[in-house]
Amino acid sequence: MNPQSGSTIRINNPTTAAAPKPQTCRHHLQQIVQAALQRVDPYQAIHTRVTLCGDLLRVNTEDLAIDLDLSHYGRILLLGAGKATAPMARAFEELLGERIDTGLICVKEGHLEALQRTEVIEASHPVPDQRGLDAARRFAQLANIADEKTLIINCLSGGASALLPYPLELQSSGAGVAVSLADKQILTRLLLGCGAPIDEINCVRKHLSAIKGGHFLRLAAPARSLNFILSDVVGDDLSSIASGLTSADPTTFSDAINIIDRYQLRSRTPASILAALELGLAGTLAETPKEGDHCLSYATNILIGTNHHALLAAEQQARQLGYHTRAGSVMITGEARHAARYLATIAREVAASDLFMEKPACLLFGGETVVTLQGNGKGGRNQELALAFLQELSAWGDALNKKVFFLSAATDGNDGPTDAAGAFADAEVLSRAKSDALEIDRYLGDNDSYHFFEKVTGLLMTGPTNTNVGDLQIILIY
């Protein structure tokens, strides 16, 4: 029925559940994150998807099923790189035991497991170091001696790109290329600091590496490889995870040069790197393997855990806690501050009305943002996102901001170069900041989110989780 002319339509204020104490909400956020982490635990992922019956190795995932007769192989190599590699290697040690001839993995400092048959090398992340270089050299050596009777089991996860630097100076290119580790460190810092997304960073890395972008498969052919991958890349693009160590690479030397120019880094990029990329553009250096390259036929890539899997587990846990739950996008990318504004807009609309969903509500998002550095502070993309969300929250007024509880967290437990996994944003954090006269704008301007949240006890501290599937954003609304 149409309203009468001149009448006023009133929408009743939504009847929402009374918000529990802030510490209860924070505990709920931690429970939801923990459920997500358990779903993508790499040790459990291997044990639930890979079995051994006699000589028959069976792999069953949502996407594929493989039966491999191990009696056809005289040697098994267990290799790996990434933050989540150690628990994956432990699972394969328990599964295969003495069948493993050689084991070698490279992990970020502190991401360790007690292994019996596998050597573990700790290296630096996100900026590579000499230890990672030594590990990459040995990876290449093992790949070179592999033959058709060799089975390579690769365990790969986020962080592998930085943990296995193998610059072109170590490759006999015949072109006089000498890209040093120091050169790659300089370029890595430049790319991280300008806000380039991970796929662009990896594009450049692949074209300065002797093993990334599928080059590892060229070295290993004709050895068979099963590559178990925990994805930290938005969209799960195999050519970006671990810089496409075991997959075809759609990018080119031209793309890599264009990325450097796009961020106006040419004047600060080491001359050796520019020279190497120009030689590749001219065809003097070999391009990365493309679809159809023969070396790809020996490899099978298997996704065992993704951001989407983590989000589904988080959704289930939130429902068990009594929340009306909705999983949103797993494609939260771009600048952390822009993402914060987008998420805050959604949260405010849900908090202000029952038109969108019932309360208490839980909204879930995933992805991986970036931060363009403007200051000299300390923090990570999740802490910056939480601080920008808090800034939005501060403008709402008490009637709304007391209804919303936010957490942004890195699933690996290390948000940027910090010991925190992420940070909480809610009215209690805002109140503490006001009491201590902490100016959100100033801390954001200096990219100093870590010290801000440290002062207001708003950091999420998990320690290394030994998994890595990107980031999670969780919003509770009453």
Contacts of 377 (CB under 8 A, 6+ apart): 443, 446, 447, 448, 449, 450, 451
CA distance 362 to 359: 8
Band (pLDDT 50/70/90 cuts) for residue 324 is: very high
Q: Per mean pLDDT, which range of 159-168, 263-272, 423-432 is the poorest? A: 159-168
Single pTM value for the model: 0.79
Lowest mean pLDDT among 11-25, 108-122, 454-468: 11-25
CA distance 382 to 470: 10
Q: Which two tokens stand for residue 293?
A: 């390259």
pLDDT per residue over 329-383, tens digit each? 999 999 999 999 999 999 999 999 988 899 999 999 999 999 999 999 999 999 9
* Domains (range + CATH), the chain: 22-38+308-477 (3.40.1480.10), 42-166+209-251+288-305 (3.40.50.10180)
- 454 has a pLDDT exceeding 70: yes
Minimal CA–CA distance to 229: which of 469, 472, 471, 470?
A: 469
For residues 276-296, average pLDDT: 95
Average pLDDT over residues 46-66: 94
Cα–Cα nearest to 166, from 199, 189, 135, 197: 135
pLDDT in tens, 214-228: 999 999 999 999 999
d(Cα 52, Cα 75) in Å, to the nearest integer?
Answer: 16
Alpha-carbon distance 368 to 422, whole Å? 13
Q: What number of other Cβ atoms are within 10 A of residue 431's Cβ?
A: 15
- Token pair 């990219």 is at which residue? 447
| Interior/surface letters 383-396, b for 16+ CB within 10 angstroms, e for the rest | bbbbbbbbbbbbeb
Q: What is the pLDDT of residue 83?
A: 85
Residue type, 59: V
Mean pLDDT of the chain: 92
Beta-bridge partners for 80: 105, 155
- The closest alpha carbon to 379, from 452, 431, 471, belongs to 452
